[in-house]
Structure 1
């Protein structure tokens, strides 16, 4: 580490002098400055590790006393007890202030290089009564800067998909359709452009080829009724895919040279994670509605789109009306629950057992990007990735949280929040999704349903019963791998 010359700090006021020191001119205290931060423009301005190590250097320079022990008072300063008390109070105040600043800077790292410097600002006040830990849970959401967002998605697409999906002259290629969404974000017109519609197709997947969907009951409660999707939406196409059919579709769609193929192959022994990847990829390529097999459609999908709320937000797309391009629902809104981290990786979490999108929407491209990043496929050997090296003795709760954070609701929630931040110029954060009204919340082309929309009957966090007018999908948790928190 570079050695620093001690820098003098001018006193803010004239300290009292004793009679013995009156002839000697006061000398200011020396402060050892912090070590310099990395000059690399891609490094965070302050990170938890850099901030904590930096704080160790903000120490008053010690001087040895006449009898050997270290004293934090230079020998030329007055020795009266009142003066010492005043100096100790000043030093304590400074150290406390610096530690406070370190705490918040380490909790909310900033990005140095960005195309939108006006969006880079430290958050010194928590977004909610849950405190800084809740904000830290969303530290990986990313910049709300549109150029940065576009560059990240383009870079991912160039590695993840084959040449056919990267052809800019083909209006139906993945990259062309994704750019169409982003172009609307940069348009100067006050009137928002027409949003892309959700494809009229419902996707479900099963491990058994030839499986015939039908209702199943647990006592008086229907927990398994895939056929409800066809009955409730007779004018929509319905696709039920078995595992082996998924394998063929993925390879045909992506090609053998696609970066996403590596992710698919790496998850061969992780069926839950592979199912997550499939649902994101299927809707990214085709669009439509995805629904887990243990869900029951309570009302036609067309009803989900009948948003009756007013204008929301302040972004260019905030006043978008008509049919949305994305429909998502709240799974968890923890309120002031202090133990939220035990059960959910985010204090606000979105459902991914059911959601609907138009094809090639940036939210799904970003979700796939986050999933691949979590798998750490750039490691020399996949076996070194934390995703695949969990100890066999890990608890069921730890296993669940590992999957949820890597491929489940966590990256999906982050991708939705990133998009909402981008389309509103950074004015929409995670706390804006707290207490979604019964009619839902429309932000641009995204419709967010309250917890009763896709999670009725869970008997917590304000969820209504299954027969509620605004309940659209019931999740039966049949054979679920997820633990339920104590009420």
Structure 2
């Protein structure tokens, strides 16, 4: 009775050992791409013993001890050696087949898991899109409140790595122009980590309708604008407000990478917008050429999404455009066209809104009066509230006037061709 009990324990131990052995091989194969085939490992495992043979050995050994016959023991051993060879091969084949099925099952489970993960990610993106579309401000909120709700401002976030450009024609259109193509290429070459998008009339119209679908008066104002240059001006504010990044006119050529624009002694978290001076004339006849005594340029702007200056600019342009529609004055006259553009969507209104921001201490945190005199003859970058104001050389080098230095100057970041895009067919 004790002998049978010991035999039963030996069999259980042997089966458990073999099970652990095959489990270790299976785990090793799944976790390593360079593991040999399981069949090769099993063929090399010559020391595996059949548990039935172990039982026979122990039983036979007990009988030999009782009889004391060495010849009988020898004969029994030879007999069981032959049985071990046949039984071992059969068991090995069965175990190989089982391991193969387990391996196939594991691979199938992994493939199914990958399919499920891809489906979950697709569903997540679709849900996120639907949530954005459902994100609607309160109907009774003002235009500015709705804009702020849809696109909140966070000064501490990083500048998004986007470069936005727009032009009437696509890159494959022969009217695009080689000079503009060179500039478009250089923006991408000098800023390899940035997403660079060029919009034409059709794509810019589509993106405005999509991004501002919940603020219909903004879309309406964009549609009403009677000239492409007005839409291009408005488009830059709309994209920067919603997405952030850099907007650059198509008639610009980058001379240095975008990260070089921020001085070493200024933290990017302190800045919400980067602009440069457009004009700072010395003559008294500045009113003949400019809307303001000193103007900030809008052909290159870097901003974080939701900046209050952009919000006010969009609201002001929208309200003025809808007012022009109601008054029946929704036209851009040929006479003095440049000045009309400046005051409607261009650098004149842009400058006015910036100074309005500086002098609103609730928004800017500045308690003293800020005027054009704080920026005239500026030759080094100046941080005012969260706006980094660059000298005229930075985005308009080589003018030879108003303090502009050459293109080789260390602060020459972007060359502007001043092509007067609104005059081009």
TM-score, normalised by the number of residues in structure 1:
0.53
Correspondence list, 1:322-471, <5 A: 322=269, 324-335=271-282, 337-375=283-321, 377-378=322-323, 381-382=325-326, 384-385=328-329, 387-388=330-331, 390=333, 394-395=334-335, 398-422=336-360, 423-435=364-376, 437-471=378-412
SS of the residue aligned with 1:355?
Answer: strand
- Residues 197, 323 of structure 1: 8 Å contact kept: no
SS of the residue aligned with 1:306?
Answer: coil
Distance 2:210 2:343 in 1: 28
Distance 2:157 2:353 in 1: 19
- Residues 227, 332 of structure 2: 8 Å contact kept: no
Q: Are residues 250 and 439 of structure 1, via their aligned partners in 2, closer, same or farther at CA, if it must alter by over 3 Å?
A: same
Aligned residue for 1:246? 204
Q: Are residues 323 and 231 of structure 1, via their aligned partners in 2, closer, same or farther at CA, if it must alter by over 3 Å?
A: farther
Aligned residue for 1:157? 144
Shift of residue 204 of structure 1? 0.7
SS of the residue aligned with 1:289?
Answer: strand
Shift of residue 240 of structure 1? 1.2
Structure 2, unmatched stretches of 5+, are: 1-140
Shift of residue 205 of structure 1? 1.2
Q: Are residues 223 and 262 of structure 1, via their aligned partners in 2, closer, same or farther at CA, if it must alter by over 3 Å?
A: closer
Distance 1:469 1:298 in 2: 10
Shift of residue 241 of structure 1? 1.4
Shift of residue 456 of structure 1? 0.7
Asked which structure has the greater CA Rg, the reply is 2
Distance 1:346 1:476 in 2: 21
Pick the aligned partner of 1:266 from 224, 243, 249: 224
Aligned residue for 1:300? 257
Distance 2:265 2:412 in 1: 15
Aligned residue for 2:238? 281
Distance 2:231 2:401 in 1: 30
Distance 1:389 1:299 in 2: 36
SS of the residue aligned with 2:187?
Answer: helix
How many residues are treated as equivalent by the alignment?
Answer: 280
Aligned residues: CA RMSD: 2.8
**Which structure: greater helix fraction?**
2
Distance 1:216 1:201 in 2: 23
Deviations 1:297-343 (CA, angstroms, capped at 9, x unpaired): 1101100012547xxxxxxxxxx8755220000001123x2100000
